[in-house]
Every structure is written in structure tokens, then in C-alpha cells.
């Protein structure tokens, strides 16, 4: 009995703590290679909080909130406050003011055309350190172009929603044409034939009310050496074409975008400018009535958005972790399937080429267009100021407050004053 008692006492003494309510101490490293993390280990990691402000529709924001929830489960120690300023102009003004005051959000999702302006002002953190060679190769070159300045990259592309030209298949067939006209002269000749036949309506062309559709229309006809000129500077060639375009369209014409193919048939519209996301939202039967003009796609960064990080943030690592998740192949694929905006990952287009699923993945023909030469000149730092002036003048024209000649004069005058 004495011997048994001594053995029991020695065992008890060798056990550091038998109280189940106190954590066991290893006496050395806190991680045992043969066990998982101890209880509450994640709670010992420091909590970080970041603020993300975006500018998007309520529908888009709801999907971003869902993506953020998935991030929260993967990174429980990074708390993210998501804010949305739906008005792009209000977002632009708020970000500029807050960044200048050093009190901005850590992350902003802004129009890619604004990034150079904010970078030149020293308000952003360069993102080169988080972009490896493999990451850069997976980002479309034409979406990266407006984000570069002074040999640095200042933003990470998120999505794009370029304007495209779609033609009425039935009207082309009537003219024995299987493809759209390739140059401006051919287009005018086609318009003349339709007019001479008596089959042309008051309007052959549908342009959306915002200036981006008009810029895409003019830019589509620019020659290779002037590619991009219409969207950045309304030159003499574009001005002449805009005058001729005005005689073929009615600014106030109404079209149901959800029934675009049917509307174009019923109203005898020959061609329309529409965003890619609006085209993708069409039913297959509506799409079948239209022909996409793949040869006239320019300036694909127009309508794109990119994540930027404030130069004043002290949580850059957490910020880049969040951006990495939001721009992952998985999240980008989800966004495209539900919202229709083009993803900023080349690999998603390649996956679509293998799977053949047009609903979940964008068509593979986008891939060379997003990466082909020439990349084009990025927008000037004052691009937003000029663009806002053009949009305001265009709204006066589309509302009937002025004529096309006055619009052209106001835009070309502002361009001349810069030179």
C-alpha cells in the first residue's frame, strides 16, 4: 500500500495541472506539432479594422456585401466596414476631400479613369508590391493601362463594362450583308440605301443619353493611328462624324433595353450602342436578333473600376488581403454570372473557353481584345474634369436645350484651350 501510494503521488506531481478549467502549459512553444491550435488561439491575434468605400448600384453592393461575409469567415481578425456612395460624382468629391484631409477610407473602388489624377496628387499607395509577375499576367493589359503612372501601378482592376455596337441582323440581311460596315464611308452608304428604299425610319441609330455611349460610337470609327482620340479629345474628324450622326438619330428616342432586339426590329433601328452588362442581361432570343461588332471595340477601360488604397492607411496589409479576395477568380466569376460586368482576370476567360458555359463565363473572344496592341494612351490626370464638362454639354443637347453644333463648339473650344 505504501509503495502504491508513492507511485500515485509521483504521477500526480508529474502532471502540471489537472484542473480542467485551466489551460495546460507546455512549458515551451505554444504550438505542438502533433496537435492543432489551442482553444481561443485565433482570439489572441490582434484585431484589425479597415473601411472600404465604393460607388455602385444597390444591387451590386448587395453582392459585394455577400463577398465580404465570405471574407469575414476566412479572416475573422479583420473587420471590414463597407460603405456605398451610389452617385459617382458625390463619391469623387468625397474621396478627393477626405484624401486631402488624411481622413479617407483605407480602400476605395473608383472609376479607373480617375486613378492617375489621385496618384499624381500623392494620395494613393502604389500596389506594385502585391502584384507578382503571375498576378500581372492574369490582369488584362487594357484595364491596367489607366492605372499606371511614373513607372508605378496605382490600382488593381476589378471589372469593366465597355460600350459595344450591336447591329440589327434582319436589316443587314435585307441589304445582303452578313457583317456590319467596316468604315464610316460604308456606313453612310448603307444609310443612304435604306433612305432611298423608303425603309429608313426617322432614326437609324440608338444612343444612350449618357455621353459614354456617344464617345464609344465615335471612337469605333476612328482609324488605328487615332484610336482613342474620340473618347479623350473630340477632334475635327470626330466632330464631323457627330454632325452626320445627328441627322440619323433622335436624342430622345425611347428603347426598352430588356427587349432591345425586338425594339430594334419594331422601330427599324439599324444599330445601337449598349453596355456589355445590358447585352448579357438580354434573353437568348433577344441576343439572336443582334450582331456584335467586334472590330470596333475601343478604350475598354471606359466604364471600368479599380481598387485603390489610401496613402494614409496604416493597415495596408489587411487592405491588400481584402482586395486580393475580392479580385480572386472565384469572386470575379460570381460577379460576372450575376451582374454581367467583365471580370479583370484573364484566366476566367480561358476557363470559359474550356467549359463553354456562356452564362457563367465571358466569351473567349474578349481575351485578345482586352490584351491586344495598341494598349492606347491612358487618360490624362485632368480627364475627369474634361469628361464632366463634355457630359454636361451633352445633356443640354439631349434635353433639347441646345443643338449639335453648339455641343461640338463647346467641346472643341475646351479642347483648343488646353493646347
For residue 79, what is its C-alpha cell? 473587420
- What does the alpha-carbon distance between residue 36 and residue 122 come to, in Å, rounded to a whole number? 45
Strands 48-54 and 107-111: parallel
What is the pLDDT at residue 368? 94
Cα 376 from Cα 394, distance rounded (Å): 25
Residue entry with cell 427587349 = 259
Half-sphere exposure of 406 (CA within 13 A, CB side): 11
pLDDT score at 224: 54
Computed over every residue of the chain, the mean pLDDT equals 83
pLDDT value of residue 41: 44
* pLDDT for the residue numbered 356: 65
> What is the CATH architecture of 45-161+303-371?
3-Layer(aba) Sandwich (3.40)
Three-state SS letters, the chain: CHHHHHHHHHHHHHCCCCCCCCCCCCCCCCCCCCCCCCCCCHHHCCCEEEEEEECCCHHHHHHHHHHHHHHHHHCCCEEEEEEECCCHHHHHHHHHHHHHHCCCCCEEEEEHHHHHHHHHCCCEECCHHHCCHHHHHCCCHHHHHHHEECCEECCEEEEECCEEEEEEHHHHHHCCCCCCCCCHHHHHHHHHHHHHCCCCCCCCEECCCCHHHHHHHHHHCCCHHHCCHHHHCCCHHHHHHHHHHHCCCCCCCCCCHHHHHHHHHHCCCCEEEEEHHHHHCCCHHHHCCEEECHHHCCCCCCCCEEEEEECCCCCHHHHHHHHHHHCCHHHHHHHHHHHCCEECCHHHHHHHHHHCCCCCCCCCCHHHHHHCCCCCCCCCCCHHHHHHHHHHHHHHHHCCCCCHHHHHHHHHHHHHHHC
CB contact set of 281 (below 8 Å; sequence gap of 6+)? 257, 258, 340
- Residues contacting residue 335 through CB under 8 Å, at least 6 positions apart: 63, 67, 159, 341, 343
* Each residue's pLDDT tens digit, 114-131: 999 999 999 999 998 787
> CA-CA-CA-CA torsion for 45, 46, 47, 49, nearest 10 degrees?
-140
**Using an 8 Å Cβ cutoff, are 89 and 111 in contact?**
no
Query: Which bin fits 409, alpha (ψ -120 to 50), beta or left (φ > 0)?
Result: alpha
d(CA 230, CA 216): 8
Model pTM score: 0.84
- How many Å apart are CA 121 and CA 100, to the nearest integer? 9
Cβ-Cβ contacts under 8 Å for 224 (sequence gap 6 or more): 374
Q: What is the CA radius of gyration of the chain?
A: 28
The span from the CA of 231 to the CA of 201, in Å, is: 28
- 258 prior amide bond cis, ω within 30: no
Query: Do the first three CATH levels of 45-161+303-371 and 163-299+386-418 match, i.e. the same topology?
Result: yes
**CATH architecture, domain 163-299+386-418:** 3-Layer(aba) Sandwich (3.40)
Those residues with Cβ within 8 angstroms of residue 182's Cβ, 6 or more apart along the chain or in another chain: 295
Give pLDDT < 70 ranges for the chain: 1-45, 133, 199-200, 223-234, 251-252, 355-358, 374-377, 413-419
What's the pLDDT tens digit per position in 64-105? 999 999 999 999 999 999 999 999 999 999 999 999 999 999
Task: Give the C-alpha distances (Å, rounded to integers) separating 108 from 157, 227, 373.
Answer: 12, 30, 29
What Cα–Cα distance (Å) separates residue 25 from each residue in 4, 38, 392? Answer: 28, 10, 70
Q: Which residue has the cell 482609324?
A: 223
Domains of the chain, by residue range, sit at 45-161+303-371, 163-299+386-418
In the prediction, which pLDDT does 8 show? 40
**Beta-carbon neighbour count of residue 157 at 10 Å?**
26
Amino acid at each position: 500500500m505504501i509503495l502504491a501510494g508513492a507511485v500515485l503521488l509521483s504521477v500526480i506531481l508529474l502532471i502540471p495541472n489537472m484542473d480542467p478549467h485551466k489551460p495546460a502549459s507546455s512549458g515551451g512553444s505554444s504550438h505542438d506539432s502533433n496537435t492543432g491550435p489551442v482553444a481561443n488561439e485565433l482570439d489572441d491575434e490582434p484585431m484589425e479594422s479597415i473601411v472600404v468605400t465604393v460607388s455602385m448600384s444597390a444591387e451590386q453592393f448587395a453582392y459585394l456585401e455577400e463577398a465580404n461575409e465570405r471574407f469575414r469567415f476566412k479572416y475573422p481578425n479583420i473587420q471590414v466596414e463597407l460603405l456605398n456612395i451610389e452617385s459617382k460624382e458625390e463619391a469623387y468629391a468625397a474621396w478627393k476631400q477626405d484624401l486631402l484631409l488624411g481622413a479617407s477610407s483605407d480602400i476605395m473602388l473608383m472609376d479607373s479613369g480617375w486613378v492617375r489624377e489621385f496618384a499624381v496628387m500623392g494620395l494613393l499607395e502604389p500596389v506594385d508590391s502585391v502584384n507578382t509577375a503571375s498576378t500581372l499576367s492574369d490582369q488584362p493589359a487594357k484595364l491596367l493601362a489607366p492605372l499606371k503612372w511614373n513607372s508605378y501601378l496605382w490600382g488593381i482592376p476589378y471589372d469593366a463594362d465597355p460600350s459595344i455596337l450591336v447591329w440589327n441582323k434582319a436589316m443587314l440581311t435585307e441589304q445582303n450583308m452578313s457583317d456590319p460596315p467596316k468604315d464610316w464611308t460604308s456606313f453612310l452608304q448603307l444609310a443612304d440605301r435604306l433612305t432611298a428604299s423608303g425603309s429608313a425610319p426617322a432614326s437609324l441609330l440608338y444612343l444612350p443619353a449618357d455621353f459614354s455611349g456617344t464617345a464609344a460610337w465615335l471612337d469605333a470609327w476612328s482609324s488605328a493611328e487615332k484610336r482613342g482620340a474620340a473618347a479623350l479629345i473630340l477632334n475635327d474628324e470626330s466632330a464631323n462624324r457627330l454632325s452626320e450622326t445627328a441627322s440619323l438619330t433622335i436624342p430622345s428616342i425611347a428603347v426598352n433595353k430588356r427587349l432591345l432586339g425586338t425594339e430594334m426590329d419594331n422601330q427599324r433601328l439599324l444599330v445601337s450602342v449598349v453596355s456589355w452588362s445590358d447585352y448579357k442581361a438580354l434573353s437568348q432570343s433577344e441576343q439572336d436578333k443582334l450582331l456584335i461588332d467586334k472590330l470596333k471595340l475601343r478604350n475598354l477601360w471606359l466604364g471600368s473600376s479599380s481598387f485603390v488604397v489610401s496613402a494614409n492607411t496604416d493597415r495596408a496589409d489587411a487592405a491588400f488581403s481584402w482586395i486580393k479576395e475580392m479580385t480572386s477568380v472565384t469572386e470575379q466569376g460570381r460577379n460576372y454570372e450575376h451582374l454581367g460586368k467583365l471580370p479583370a482576370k484573364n484566366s476566367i476567360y480561358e476557363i470559359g473557353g474550356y467549359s463553354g458555359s456562356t452564362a457563367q463565363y465571358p466569351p473567349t473572344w474578349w481575351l485578345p481584345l482586352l490584351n491586344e496592341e495598341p494598349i492606347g494612351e491612358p487618360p490624362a490626370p485632368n480627364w475627369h474634369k474634361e469628361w464632366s464638362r463634355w457630359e454636361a454639354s451633352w445633356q443640354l443637347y439631349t434635353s433639347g436645350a441646345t443643338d449639335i453644333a453648339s455641343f461640338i463648339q463647346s467641346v472643341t473650344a475646351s479642347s483648343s484651350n488646353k493646347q
